[in-house]
Structures are given as C-alpha cells and as structure tokens.
Amino acid sequence: MELTIPADPAWPEAERRLLSDSLRQFQLGEGSDGCNLLRFARTFAARVGDADLPEAVAGLIAEEQRHSRWLGQVLRAHGEPLLGRHWVDGAFRRLRRTMGFGFEVAVLVSAEVVAVPYYTAVGRVTSLPSLRAICERVLQDEAFHLQFQAHNLSLVVRDRFGLRHALHRGLQMAIGAVVWQQHGRVLAAGGYTFASFCQECDRLLLEVQRRSYASRLQCRYDSASAS
C-alpha cells in the first residue's frame, strides 16, 4: 500500500549531518532488484513443490523497493543525491548470491532484523514529519516481513540447504557489527548502545527462529494427521 508522505520544513543542519549518509545507504540497500532472490526462490519452490512462494517473494521485493522509493523521495526533496553503489551494499549482495535460497533467506532475515532498531532510532531522532511517517510505516511492514521470513526459514531449515540456528546467530552478530560500524551514530542518537542493539537483534532473531520452529512442527503435525 502506498504512503502519503507529509511535507517537511527545512532539515536542521545537525540532523542532516547525522542522518543523510546513513539514510542514503539504507535507500540503496532497500532498492535491490531482487533478481537473484527471485531466481533462487523459483528453483527452490520447484524442488519443494511450493507454487505460491515465488509470487510471495516478488511481493516482498516490491515492498522493499517501495521503502527505497520513499526514502529517495525525501532525500531528493532535501537536495541529497542518492547513492549509486556502496561497498556494504555490494558485500551484502555478493554474500547473498553465494549459496542459494537457504543462505539468501538467512542473510535477509538478519537484514530485516537490523532494520527494526535502525528505523526505530531514525523515527526517534528525526524532526521531519516525512521521515517519522516512513519509519512508522516501514516498522509495520518489517513486522510482517519477519513473519514471512520465519515461514521461509521453516522451509529452508527443513530442506538440506538450511542454515543451522547457531550459525545464523553468528551471521547475525557479524552483520550487526558491520551495521553498528556504519550506522552506530544514528543508533546511539536513537538511544541504543552497541550492547542493547545486539540484544534487540538477538531477541528478534530468536523470535523468528521460534516462529519458524512452530511452523515446522505444524507442518509435521499436518502431514502426520493426513497419513
């Protein structure tokens, strides 16, 4: 669903210096065309017989691109040029491409997880009505994305390419450390310390893993009662 972005006053200089580079990185990251993810999802869906998966993944990609478009609209309105590339975004894309749908889902879950404290922090810090509205809406969307990714995780963990949970927590910590290194000033201004940011990420990841486990149990129960 589209969002009506409210008009802004001028961006206070100190806030612009704090937020603009960081938001430009997120704008770039949210705007991925998702080609590889969709290709992996199609192959994976064919293997496990989940005909609805590619369409659902396409819906997720479209929603992330909307987040990117909204951020781009605000940045451009305040005279901030958008990024064409960034090494963190490039590294994330290369990492996701390496090992198929299972690994891509694991990296995406971690990206969705860090987005929650990030947009919470931006929403707390900003004085711009546009950014507040975007953060509020993105956080609602991300809650659904985490549920959807829990379902995907349940599929890939059942599948032989699924990442083990402990390994996923390690990956989450590594991604969290890069995000703190790049966006720690914004997160700190929004009330996080590195420790509380990591705790929040860990809590969200465990929640996704719990949901994914519940979904696997349900699936086993359904197939047992059908046989």
Would you tell me which residues interact with Fe ion (CB under 5 A)? 30, 64, 67, 112, 142, 145
Contact 28, 68 (CB under 8 A): yes
CB contact at 8 A, 105 and 149: yes
Nearest approach in angstroms of CB 113 to Fe ion is: 10
| Cα angle 81, 182, 139; round to 5 | 80
Cβ-contact 189, 197 below 8 angstroms = no
Least distance from C-beta 69 to Fe ion, angstroms? Answer: 11
Running DSSP on this structure, what letter comes out for residue 190? T
Residue closer to Fe ion by CB (options 30, 89) is 30
| CB nearer Fe ion, residue 80 or residue 141 | 141
Minimum CB separation of residue 111 from Fe ion in Å reads 7
What proportions of the chain, in percent to the nearest 5, are helix, strand and coil? 80, 0, 20
To the nearest whole angstrom, how small is the minimum distance from the Cβ of residue 144 to Fe ion?
A: 8
Phi first, then psi: give them for residue 149, nearest 5 degrees: -70, -30
Complex with Fe ion: residue 13 or 96, whichever CB lies closer: 96
Q: How far is the CB of 101 from Fe ion (least distance, A)?
A: 17
Nearest approach in angstroms of CB 16 to Fe ion is 22
Which residue is at the shortest CB distance from Fe ion? 145
Burial of 119 (0-12, 13-18, 19+ CB in 10 A): buried
- Identify the CA nearest to 146 among candidates 109, 176, 114, 179: 109
- Whichever of 62 and 195 has its CB closer to Fe ion, that residue is 62
Q: CA-to-CA distance for 36 and 109, rounded, in angstroms?
A: 16
Residue closer to Fe ion, measured from CB, 142 or 200: 142
Phi, psi of 190 (to 5 degrees): -85, 10
**Closer by beta carbon to Fe ion, 72 or else 221:** 72
Is 195 in a helix, a strand, or coil?
helix
